Amino acid sequence: MRRTVFLLACLALVTTSLPLFSQEAKLEAVMQGAFRKPAENGWIFVHLQGSPYNMGFQHGYLLAPEIADVEKVAVLEMTHDGKKDWDFFRDAAKHMMWPHIEAQYRSELLGITAGLKAKGVNLDIWDVVALNALCEWGYYVKEYDQHHRTPGVATLALPDRCSAFVATGSYTKDGKVIIAHNNWTSYLEGTRWTVIFDIAPASGQRILMDGVPGLIHSADDFGINSAGIMITETTISHFSGYNPNGVPEFVRARKAMQFAASIDAFVRLMKSGNNGGYANTWLVADRKTNEIASLELGLKNVTLERKTDGYFVGANFPINPKLVREETDFNVKDMGISANARHVRWEQLMAQYKGKIDVAAAQRFLADHYDTFEKKEDADERALDGHIELSSRGDPPWQPPYGTAGAVQNKVADATMAERMSFSAAAGHACGLDFKADEHLQKHTGFAWEKPLLRDMDAYPWTVFSIAP
């Protein structure tokens, strides 16, 4: 009898321990090869690898606290600016976006959700999809309100985002391609836009890109892949247009970065299912051929230019006159507009540094404070290194177009770096100026709503990041 009781007890112990052992084994299998490094000069480096689901799980698991924090920022910004609650965006994520997300990226998004759950973060798949669409919700809300004739609703602003260039041939010091970009966004978002993702998918190209915790795409779209394609973009200012039956921009952007092995392939992937969301001028380089391209991707108007000698610059200005007329209300003649002033400055720098552009020069460009409208050095919204919080136009009565904002981080890569799958990055303003949240909020009480989540943004030195060995 005692022997029977003892054997039953042993069996019960083994049986109850098996699920725990299986869970640990499963976790180890899913997380195999993934890791997160300690923060370096303001950046978190994360390596993801394997199947779409496994990469998603690794992403959610390794960045769980940061994703939970980003979700709070998204809820605060979207509900304040858009006058719609978070459930509105969750519902649109479920019913409008999910049907147009292909299986591999559905799997990755579900993996993020599972990784979060394993770490005790209570966000579901619709929260995760809504987060990934942060850059295109403004376009959707604009169309939604017009279609539903929503009275008295302040729709989300579509802000200027980013300064960038790509150059090759006689414009660069070594005759090879170089690409550079700084990200303009709210400081609420920007202080969180500090992840370096090293992604080794089971299919497609290896990717090194910057990004936001919880997002499967870069979102400011700076990245290089193992096929030699180098990518960035700047937003088209004052754009209107959105097709809810198209493929979300975040899916197309990620797919293009993962699968494009040529400029032609990049263009095809970005145009396929174009929904108009987050309409950009894309700057692309192929280090294998030293060719560069500019793809101005509107909803109705799409323009592609290519060069093997020359440059393209981006500063949120629209290019194609037909796109300007049909899809924007942009004033191309107002040189006081940030996009136009920065366009002029880019042209000046390209002419001044022709034949001398290298990584060091690109880093100086991204720290540039010359205001071509005022014709003087001024850290303001018309500088390539944008400081909307320091605008000389004052607040009040002038309000920056999207809150406390400006350039928040910077990246540069030349052909040699891209061949090694590396780039140079600087968190914060490239000029070295720090942003102090309390000091700013005391001066500009209109942004008190940001106080719970607004952080200081220190400027860090340039740091080279490479894929894991």
State pTM to two decimals.
Answer: 0.92
The encoded tokens of residue 186 equal 């709210």
298 and 229 together in one domain: yes
Per-residue pLDDT at 149 = 81
Tell me, rounded to whole angstroms, the distance of Cα 444 from its chain centroid.
27
339 and 455 together in one domain: yes
Number of domains in the chain: 2
Q: How many CB atoms lie within 10 A of CB 397?
A: 6
CATH number of the domain bearing residue 74: 1.10.439
User: In which domain, by residue range, is 61 found?
Assistant: 35-147
Torsions phi, psi for 439 (to 5 deg): -60, -45
126 and 172 together in one domain: no
Q: Which of 147, 178, 205 is the last residue before a domain boundary?
A: 147
Per-residue pLDDT at 382 = 94
Per-residue pLDDT at 403 = 65
Per-residue pLDDT at 153 = 52
Q: How many CB atoms lie within 10 A of CB 121?
A: 19
Is 300 a member of any domain? yes
Per-residue pLDDT at 15 = 34
**Residue whose C-alpha is closest to residue 391's, from 383, 381, 403:** 381
CATH number of the domain bearing residue 361: 3.60.60.20
131 and 188 together in one domain: no
Quickly list DSSP for 364-420: HHHT--EETTTTEE--STTSSS-BGGG-TT-SSS---TTSSEEEEEEEEEEHHHHHT
Per-residue pLDDT at 443 = 86
Is 158 a member of any domain? no
Is 280 a member of any domain? yes
Say which residues have a Cβ less than 8 Å from residue 77's Cβ, sequence separation at least 6: 186, 188, 189, 403
Is 156 a member of any domain? no
369 and 425 together in one domain: yes
Using the structure block, give the residue that is written with the tokens 């300007």.
324
pLDDT along the chain (469 residues), means of 10: 40 37 83 97 98 98 98 93 88 98 98 98 98 95 87 56 96 98 96 98 98 98 98 96 97 98 98 97 98 98 98 98 96 95 98 98 98 96 93 49 83 98 98 96 90 97 97
Is 21 a member of any domain? no
Q: What is the pLDDT of residues 289-301, one digit of tens each?
A: 999 999 999 999 9
Is 379 a member of any domain? yes
131 and 273 together in one domain: no
Q: How far is Cα 407 from Cα 299, in angstroms, rounded to an integer? A: 26
292 and 186 together in one domain: yes
Is 415 a member of any domain? yes
125 and 100 together in one domain: yes
Is 362 a member of any domain? yes
CA distances from 58 to 21, 55, 69, 108, 384 (A): 19, 5, 17, 10, 36
Per-residue pLDDT at 211 = 98
Helix (H, G, I), strand (E, B) or coil at 98: helix
Torsions phi, psi for 193 (to 5 deg): -85, 55
79 and 137 together in one domain: yes
Per-residue pLDDT at 20 = 45
Helix (H, G, I), strand (E, B) or coil at 298: coil
340 and 423 together in one domain: yes
CA distances from 302 to 28, 305, 468 (A): 46, 10, 37
Per-residue pLDDT at 11 = 34
282 and 177 together in one domain: yes
113 and 172 together in one domain: no
Per-residue pLDDT at 148 = 86
Residue 388 exposed, middle or buried by CB count within 10 Å (0-12, 13-18, 19+): buried
